[in-house]
Structure 1
Amino acid sequence: MTDDQTVFPLLSSAEFQRRLLAWFDAHGRKRLPWQQDKSPYRVWVSEIMLQQTQVATVIPYYERFMARFPTVEALAEAPQDEVLHLWTGLGYYARARNLHKAAREVVSEHDGDFPVHSLDAMAALPGIGRSTAGAIIAISTGRRAVILDGNVKRSLTRLHALPGWPGRSAVERHLWALAEHYTPEARLPDYTQAMMDLGATLCRRGQPECGRCPFDDVCLAHARGEERRFPEAKPKKATPRRVTQMLLLRDAEGRVLLQQRPPTGLWGGLWCFPQFEEEAALLAWLDSHAPGAELEAPWSSFTHVFSHFRLEITPRPARTRRLAAVTESGSLWYNPRQPASVGLAAPVKALLDTLGDDLLA
């Protein structure tokens, strides 16, 4: 697709809205936790959690999060460790760090009130961006704002059989123009939720249910039998592979040494086992920090997949009677039988659960 190609709407905005809202009134989701007692804060938390995560997964996390942090002030005042702890298992931890940063910015720069009067001001908050800002404004205030999340991109791309990867700037511009055309002036909370529901429940990535879709008679991808062709995938590159050895160092009481990762980068701010690319570095670290520690046979390696690379992890259990490492800043001895409320990377939590089971066996 070239920049000068024009994609025209298939329906008038009024007809598109009529069909979509009639479907939503009959089949849309209206009792989700964040749809009750709507506020910019509650909608914002839900929108961040829902990025790249399904509704069913988000609901229990959202309910626990709101019980602990019922207001943006409560979230802003909390230590990052506690925020990350409540996010453990939800993945994409940069979302949690940005959520915390944004909460502090809302409190310090906007007196605790989200700047929902301005799309630009909302989009400027950490971790939000144009589409999420539009969703927060539309759902929480009813003011007209346009969204273009992954679900909406998929639905509009199929409806118009729009070629090209939606991440390309030219394709994305066409999608924003279509989203702008179809967005109404009224019923913005329902319309916005309906657009997200359409992609999440009918126009799904793998198995779209075209027979139930309110646009099945005009959808170009469906007419061609090419629903799975659209949206076109991002051009593939070879997925890089990295390797790491995680040191599972236990003391005589069964506690395990954890270290806090740097605030940015891989697993930023989370607590992890000491990691080493090579065994020589691991052995040198043990000689320096826990002399006399007994390194045991490695556990089976496993792979943790990130969006941009694959990490092959080899757990290296060891035992020590000396606690010199605990004096280092950013280290703690974690008791799997009495877990501390700290944020843990998913593979670290799984390994700690295994160690805890061994202790209880």
Structure 2
Amino acid sequence: MKRAERIKHILNNFDKESYRKDLIHWFKEEQRILPWRENQDPYRVWVSEIMLQQTRVDTVIPYFNHFMDKFPTPDALAQADEQEVLKAWEGLGYYSRARNLQNAVREVVSEYEGVVPADAEELGNLKGVGPYTRGAILSIAYDIPEPAVDGNVMRVLSRILHVEDDISKQSTRKLFEGLVKELISDEDPSSFNQGLMELGALVCTPKTPSCMLCPVQEHCRAFDEGVETELPVKASKKKQKKSPYLLLLVQNEKGDVLIEQRPDTGLLASLWQYPMVPLEDVGHEAVAHWFYGEYGLKVEVGESVDRIKHVFSHLIWEMEVIKVTVKEGTLDHERAIFIAPEDMEDYPFPVSHQKAHPHINR
């Protein structure tokens, strides 16, 4: 069955108008007070939606407020140094979001005179603006009826419409985008899309949906059939790879700390960190020899002071924190520097390495 026919089949005998009305009414009455809703300027909506990807709302709020204070306009963000932007993002994770956002905003400033485009194609061509972000900006900031479909929305509609397609598949996302195009309100697309998002966040939650509190319960096919906890269907994730490391807190005779900048591409690109020894390649007994080869410094490897576990979406870092003292030599590493402990606040570190900060001798 073609997608258009499938959409028509799914929505057969579904009261779209009543569902729309109930959802929007509930959202307008019950929506949370959030800083990005105070002023739905396209730039503010854009920043909030990028921050909210893979991140909880209560975590994002202080970051959003700080970020908007520091970079209140597209011009301010476009002109900022990347390290300054990464520092403002420090702790929020998924740092490529920040770099893509700044690069895209620079394009908005240079190509669109600082005005976020209201054209779907132009907006979607910007770095880091996928179908969901594009739909959120267009519907929330510009009141254009465009679908904004993420995992929350697919979960809600899987239950409302009893759709058993695997939501991890791109074809399923396309199906739900088509369904939202049919369901969305032309008069108030902003409240409709935000209502779907809010419903998924507050009521139609992943494991224990609050069906008795749901404003659209009477429209929900999964609830009617008693299968709401079995939806959505989603293929299980691959097991994350575990990577063991020694994290080295290296200080010289002055007490300065050795830090290094990660590569400009890839995981945690351009952030700063302490040296990491891959234990899969180098044993504990060979650390001093490995370190001399990598950094040109002779060191004394000291005691273990902590263990840090940091979970990424695809891998797990298991790090043993070791104190190290420089004995002699000259630093020979193009991306590493010594800094005074009091200057560490000037450098953006990933959360995993921030956890080791308290062990630095100050």
User: Normalization by structure 1: what TM-score?
Assistant: 0.90
**Deviation at 1:158?**
1.3
Q: Which amino acid aligns with 1:217?
A: E
Of residues 98, 101, 104, the one that matches 1:96 is 98
Q: Which amino acid aligns with 1:25?
A: K
**Deviation at 1:310?**
1.6
Pairing 1:29-48 to 2, within 5 Å after superposition:
29=32, 31-48=33-50
**Deviation at 1:323?**
7.3
For residues 142 and 15 of structure 1, do their structure 2 counterparts lie closer, same or farther at Cα, with a shift above 3 Å needed?
A: same
Instruction: Provide the identity percentage.
Output: 33
Whether the 8 Å CA contact 1:81–1:341 is kept in 2: the answer is no
Alpha-carbon separation, structure 1, partners of 2:228 and 2:265: 39
Q: Which amino acid aligns with 2:185?
A: P
Does 2:338 match 1:337?
no
Partner in structure 2 of residue 27 of structure 1 = 30
**Deviation at 1:322?**
5.0
SS at match of 1:320: strand
For residues 334 and 221 of structure 1, do their structure 2 counterparts lie closer, same or farther at Cα, with a shift above 3 Å needed?
A: farther
Of residues 288, 292, 298, the one that matches 1:292 is 298
Partner in structure 1 of residue 195 of structure 2 = 194
**Deviation at 1:300?**
4.3
Partner in structure 1 of residue 19 of structure 2 = 16
**Deviation at 1:131?**
1.4
Q: Which amino acid aligns with 2:349?
A: L
SS at match of 2:36: helix
**Deviation at 1:84?**
0.9
Give 5+ residue unaligned stretches, structure 2. Answer: none
The CA deviation string for residues 317-342 of structure 1, in whole angstroms up to 9 with x for no partner, is 201155732x6433233444343322
Q: Which amino acid aligns with 1:146?
A: P
SS at match of 1:161: coil
Pairing 1:223-234 to 2, within 5 Å after superposition:
223-234=224-235
For residues 255 and 111 of structure 1, do their structure 2 counterparts lie closer, same or farther at Cα, with a shift above 3 Å needed?
A: same
Partner in structure 2 of residue 72 of structure 1 = 74
Q: Which amino acid aligns with 1:331?
A: A
Give 5+ residue unaligned stretches, structure 1. Answer: none
SS at match of 2:156: helix
**Deviation at 1:224?**
3.1
Pairing 1:1-361 to 2, within 5 Å after superposition:
7-9=9-11, 11-29=14-32, 31-116=33-118, 118-277=119-278, 278-279=281-282, 282-288=287-293, 289-320=295-326, 322=328, 324-325=330-331, 328-352=333-357, 354-356=358-360, 359=362
For residues 324 and 78 of structure 1, do their structure 2 counterparts lie closer, same or farther at Cα, with a shift above 3 Å needed?
A: farther
Which has the higher mean CA deviation after the structures are superposed, 89-98 or 315-324?
Answer: 315-324
Alpha-carbon separation, structure 2, partners of 1:72 and 1:284: 48
More strand by share: 2
Alpha-carbon separation, structure 2, partners of 1:322 and 1:216: 71
Whether the 8 Å CA contact 1:245–1:279 is kept in 2: the answer is no
The CA deviation string for residues 260-318 of structure 1, in whole angstroms up to 9 with x for no partner, is 11122111111111222133674334324353321112344432111112222222320
User: Normalization by structure 2: what TM-score?
Assistant: 0.90
The CA deviation string for residues 116-146 of structure 1, in whole angstroms up to 9 with x for no partner, is 1x11211121111111111111111222222
Whether the 8 Å CA contact 1:301–1:315 is kept in 2: the answer is yes
**Deviation at 1:98?**
0.9
Aligned length: 354
Alpha-carbon separation, structure 2, partners of 1:2 and 1:329: 56
Q: Which amino acid aligns with 2:304?
A: P
Whether the 8 Å CA contact 2:149–2:173 is kept in 1: the answer is no
Alpha-carbon separation, structure 1, partners of 2:2 and 2:251: 59
